[in-house]
Amino acid sequence: MIDNEKIKIITSVKDWESAIKEVAQILLDLGSITTEYIDAMIKNVKENGSYIVIGPYIALPHAKREKGVLKTDISMLKLEKEVAFPNNKPVKLLICLAARNDDEHLDILSQIGDLLLDDDKVEKVLKSNDINELRGLINGL
């Protein structure tokens, strides 16, 4: 599901917008999305609140594919220090989703859902600061 080059671990970010930009930059650099897609993800949170916070400390930034998805891809940002999203929702893990079609979108969401249902795995992911360990935990679904 995810390669080391698509995982980034950093200590902290100044705000939730920076967190989204940081996780999306990985996909931008790989040619999977455009800057318009990043802007759309930020706009979604500004307009709709923290709906992308899908579990304790986990956010799934995304936007409509028409806003700049060039190919289906996923990236992950792990923060050592949580960042507050609107309504003071704390986040330490961001999984950026870019999907070209509904089937790919649902497949990735299903895999992420499997992760969220495993409390032990979620705890390990949130505590880990090692890219190889994170990749193994995520891909071991």
Residue pair 135/2 in contact (Cβ under 8 Å)? The answer is yes
Q: Tokens 């999977």 appear where?
A: 32
Tell me the Ramachandran region of residue 57: left when phi exceeds 0, alpha when psi lies from -120 to 50, beta otherwise: left
Measure Cα distances from 114 to 20, 33, 46 in Å: 23, 25, 28
Q: Which of 6, 21, 62, 78 is catalytic?
A: 62
Residue 62 annotated among the catalytic residues of the structure: yes
Specify the DSSP element, H or E, that contains 115: helix 102-116
Catalytic residues: 62
